[in-house]
Amino acid sequence: MNMLFFGTSELSVIVLEELKDSGFLPKVIICAEDKPVGRKMIITPPPVKVWAESHGIPVFQPRTLREEKNKEIELSMTEKIKNLVQECDIFVVASYGKIIPQAILDIPRHGTLNVHPSLLPRLRGPSPIQSAILIEEETGVSIILLDAEMDHGPLVAQEKVDITPWPPYAEELESILAHRGGAMLAEIIPKWIKGEIQTVEQDHKKATVCKKIKKIDGEVDILSGNPYEIFRKVRAFSGWPGVYFFTDYNSMRIRVLITKANFEDNTLVITHVKPEGKKEMLYTDFLRGKHS
């Protein structure tokens, strides 16, 4: 089977591992460009590129797959991707992060399947894992036949994934949903190619859309903010951007990252923090310092 994979993040890597364990390896992987990371802004490849190179799989990193102002460029990109894998059977998309035009989605003979970590049509958009932790009481994985609209295509398969206790930390939830999504793909792809699966249209009237998370979303007021909402934010933003507050500490204004917290007896219980410029510590130890 000739398969091309679109993905960028750690979630994509987990999906690829599940596919590999079931005997499915893509011929080519398309991912986002290398980007500067950290305070020193070191140019760093995305996780999927590292994985692909370790498995000897060619990587293509276009800046964009479309150019709305110049249709000729879009067509040339379509032709370029056609030439990456001759007579491609299927495309698989998992956390790619860029818009894929319909002309490219239509290249493979059996269409483009997308793994989305939510129970579509709920939580369409860029932050389904964080948003589920913030506002939902359950979540799961959807496999859809991708079209040009955001998370809009018909359902190929869907599973609710039980998470206890709820809510989990974002990294934990991402790992669970990625493993399940990859396993679902491995089960579905052979049946899909044989024409044994019928799609089901999403109920678009029930669709909800989640927003892109920004760094400022992690700032909280632990004195006057809603304690349960702060707790959910700590769990949802545990990877990035983190949840933080500002305080005067030893005569300096610093940012304090809340790294671990629980919610007990209607109270936010902060257990671990990372003050600016210091290592993670127990919150009780932090409180012994001279702060406001």
Domain-embedded: residue 274: yes
Residue 33 DSSP symbol: P
Same structural domain, 134 and 21: yes
Same structural domain, 155 and 258: no
Instruction: At 258, list the tokens.
Output: 């809340």
CB 115 within 8 A of CB 13: no
pLDDT in tens, 189-225: 999 999 999 999 999 999 999 999 999 999 999 999 9
Same structural domain, 273 and 158: no
Domain-embedded: residue 247: yes
Same structural domain, 155 and 224: no
Same structural domain, 11 and 68: yes
Among 157, 184, 206, the domain boundary falls at: 206
Among 206, 225, 243, the domain boundary falls at: 206
Find the CATH number of the domain harbouring 47.
Answer: 3.40.50.170
* Phi and psi, residue 273, nearest 5°: -135, 165
Helix (H) / strand (E) element for 16: namely: helix 10-21
Percent of the chain residues topping a pLDDT of 90 = 85
Q: Do you find a cis peptide bond into 128, omega within 30 degrees of 0? A: no
Q: How far apart are CA 234 and CA 216, in angstroms?
A: 14
The parent domain of residue 244 ranges over: 215-287
Helix (H) / strand (E) element for 123: namely: none
Q: Which residues contact 3 (CB under 8 A, 6 or more apart)?
A: 24, 25, 26, 27, 85, 88, 89, 90, 91, 92, 189
Domain-embedded: residue 176: yes
Same structural domain, 45 and 150: yes
Same structural domain, 158 and 242: no
The string over 228-255, giving b where at least 16 C-beta atoms fall within 10 Å of a residue's C-beta and e elsewhere, is: eebbbbbbbbbeebbbbbebebeeeebb
Local confidence pLDDT in tens for the 292 residues of the chain: 899 999 999 999 999 999 999 999 999 999 999 999 877 889 999 999 999 999 999 999 999 887 555 555 555 788 889 999 988 999 999 999 999 999 999 999 999 999 999 999 999 999 999 999 999 999 999 999 999 899 999 999 999 999 999 999 999 999 999 999 999 999 999 999 999 999 999 999 999 999 999 999 999 999 999 999 999 999 999 989 999 999 987 778 899 999 999 999 999 999 999 999 899 999 999 988 766 5
Split into its structural domains, the chain has a count of 2
| pLDDT computed for residue 76 by the predictor | 79
What is the pTM assigned to this prediction? Answer: 0.92
Task: Report which residue type is found at 81.
Answer: I
| pLDDT computed for residue 277 by the predictor | 87
Burial class (CB in 10 A: 0-12, 13-18, 19+), 265: exposed
Same structural domain, 52 and 177: yes
Same structural domain, 232 and 175: no
Domain-embedded: residue 292: no
Find the CATH number of the domain harbouring 225.
Answer: 3.10.25.10
pLDDT in tens, 99-132: 999 999 999 999 999 999 999 999 999 999 999 9
The string over 93-111, giving b where at least 16 C-beta atoms fall within 10 Å of a residue's C-beta and e elsewhere, is: bbbbebebbebbbebbebb
Same structural domain, 52 and 180: yes
Domain-embedded: residue 24: yes
